[in-house]
Amino acid sequence: MNKKTFILIIVLMSIALAGTVSVQILWMRNAVKIQEKQFEQNVFASLKTIVAKLGIQSTIVKLSAEFLDLDDRTEKIYNDSIKTQSKITIFALDTEKNDSVVEINDLEKFFKKLKIEIKETKDPLQKLNLNLLDTIIKNELKERGINSRCEFAAVHKTEKGEEIKYKSKNFKTSYLKSKFKTNIFITDADYFLVLYFPDKSKYIYKSVVPLLLLSVFFTLIILATFIITVNVILKQKKLSEIKTDFINNITHELKTPVATLKVAISTLKQDKTISENKTVMLLERQGNRLQKITERVIDSSFNNKPNINAKKINVHKYFEYLITDFKHSINDKNITVSFKSKVPENLFAKIDETYLTPAIINILDNAVKYNDKEHKEVSVTVFSKDNFLFAEIKDNGTGIAEKDKKMIFEKFYRGMKGNIHKVKGLGIGLFFTKQITEIHGGTVYFESKKGEGTKFTVKLPAETL
């Protein structure tokens, strides 16, 4: 990963994290606003119910001064009007309750008593019971799910200002600014009830605590993931740099012996008696191959994907040399390697020998390594069809189990049980083969049955010249 890519990843992840946190904050603010609005709606609804339950709106009637100053003539009219009846029933209108019935034997006595009570009761709030009001408020708020501490006051508005008539124990004058107010009497707006919640903010935020905790929890997970990801990227970058330095050191160390080997081969070829010797020719091919591999390793250490340099190669000669070199490398009498070429002499394929050769050698090596037969057989058949080259590599080995077939081309996968150290390898051979084949524009596939061997086929573009 280069520096620009790393910086881009960090920037994008930072933007994503900042965006997520911003959305969470906006979401929490909206949740608080919704809770606050719901709280206010419940309180205003409670105020109406509280006043209604007190029954003040319908039980206290504001009488005019004219009624309070009734003269004897008015009383005489009442006296004359009721002498014919011994018992009168008076119905009082109540907006809350229509079942109030007052019965008196003497209407005259009733009116006199009523006049006296009204004259003596200059302040209607004197009829209020503070303990009853406190109980009604607490019960009503509790019914609506409001458990926050509430302070209240019954207030009379006069020309001099607002006068608190009754209040709860901890009610303060500053609480009169509360928005939670309602008239106690329908006919008189000068008397009103005030509710104040000192812990309103605490109560509202407490109601969204579970959502807040979940939001913080998931945000922390995202933040932790971000930090871990950055650390992993940094570690991988450091390991990549170490790997590159190591490969560079190894390949540079190999350059000297490879150069020495080529000089020695050139010296041998100067002797005409041995210049055409097959062994010398083999050494020369392998020396050239080793030099190219060393150069390719240096190149690939700077590129994650191999940078191939494909050239048109004669297919028949290429596979002939490849199989010959492979036979010399195994040197085992119990292994038979056969080669059959069915391609025309003028068939060419555009390939990079440095990469394709080890890719095919990997299949040949596996045909020998994963074979527990006493006599191992490997056959290579090359043919062409529809402008494609087909190289079939068949063995009489153990075959591939069904459960391993899907994973056989995965990196570091080794389809074996038991002691895998009996067969040397890292599990990257077939992964490399598939990668190189696909870079060349081809494919690799196989047919296998457990206990009956395996046949790999490498398919590459080819043309006749």
Asked which of 187, 207, 227 is the last residue of a domain, the reply is 207
Q: What domain count does the chain have?
A: 3
- Let me know if residue 305 belongs to a domain: no
- Let me know if residue 59 belongs to a domain: yes
The residues pairing with 391 across neighbouring beta strands, listed in sequence order, are 382, 458
- Let me know if residue 192 belongs to a domain: yes
> Is 38 exposed, middle or buried, given 0-12, 13-18 or 19+ CB atoms closer than 10 A?
middle
pLDDT value of residue 378: 94
- Let me know if residue 322 belongs to a domain: yes
Summarised one tens digit per residue, pLDDT across range 59-83 is: 443 334 344 444 444 444 444 444 4
Q: Encode burial over 282-313: b for 16+ CB neighbours within 10 A, e otherwise.
A: ebbeebbbebbbbebebeebeeeebebeeeeb
Q: Taking 80 as the threshold, does the pLDDT of residue 40 lie above it?
A: yes
Percent of the chain scoring above 70 in pLDDT: 74
- Let me know if residue 294 belongs to a domain: no
Q: Taking 60 as the threshold, does the pLDDT of residue 457 lie above it?
A: yes
Domain range for 428: 310-464
* 365 and 417 co-located in one domain: yes
- Let me know if residue 229 belongs to a domain: yes
Asked which of 207, 235, 256 is the last residue of a domain, the reply is 207
* 222 and 354 co-located in one domain: no
Summarised one tens digit per residue, pLDDT across range 134-172 is: 888 889 999 988 988 999 998 888 888 888 888 888 999
DSSP letter assigned to residue 463: E
* 28 and 171 co-located in one domain: yes
- Let me know if residue 420 belongs to a domain: yes
Q: Where in 17-142 does DSSP place strands (E)? A: 88-91, 101-104
pLDDT value of residue 91: 41
Mean pLDDT across 46-57: 75
Determine which of 33-42, 98-107, 196-205, 246-255 has the lowest per-residue pLDDT on average.
98-107
* 365 and 277 co-located in one domain: no
pLDDT value of residue 77: 43
Summarised one tens digit per residue, pLDDT across range 168-187 is: 889 999 999 999 999 887 77
Q: Taking 90 as the threshold, does the pLDDT of residue 205 lie above it?
A: no
* 458 and 336 co-located in one domain: yes
Asked which of 266, 284, 302 is the last residue of a domain, the reply is 284
Handedness of CA 413, 419, 425, 426 (dihedral sign): positive
> Is 42 exposed, middle or buried, given 0-12, 13-18 or 19+ CB atoms closer than 10 A?
middle
Place of tokens 């060393």: 294
* 202 and 327 co-located in one domain: no
Q: Is residue 177 within 8 Å of residue 195, measured between CB atoms?
A: no
pLDDT value of residue 197: 94
Identify which has the larger pLDDT, 424 or 251.
Answer: 251
Q: Encode burial over 316-349: b for 16+ CB neighbours within 10 A, e otherwise.
A: bebbebbbbebbeeeeeeebebebebebeeebbb
Summarised one tens digit per residue, pLDDT across range 277-307 is: 777 777 877 777 777 677 666 555 555 567 7
pLDDT value of residue 2: 67
* 335 and 431 co-located in one domain: yes
How many distinct helices (H) and strands (E) make up the chain? 13, 14
Summarised one tens digit per residue, pLDDT across range 125-136 is: 666 665 678 888
Mean pLDDT (the chain) is 78
* 136 and 103 co-located in one domain: yes
Summarised one tens digit per residue, pLDDT across range 381-436 is: 999 999 999 999 999 988 888 888 888 888 766 665 444 445 555 567 788 889 89
* 203 and 247 co-located in one domain: no
pTM higher than 0.75: no
* 355 and 416 co-located in one domain: yes
State how far the Cα of 409 lies from the Cα of 289, in Å rounded to an integer. 25
* 74 and 173 co-located in one domain: yes
* 195 and 55 co-located in one domain: yes
- Let me know if residue 297 belongs to a domain: no
Give the CATH number of the domain where residue 375 resides.
3.30.565.10
> Is 112 exposed, middle or buried, given 0-12, 13-18 or 19+ CB atoms closer than 10 A?
middle
| Helix, strand, coil % over all residues of the chain, rounded to 5 | 55, 20, 30
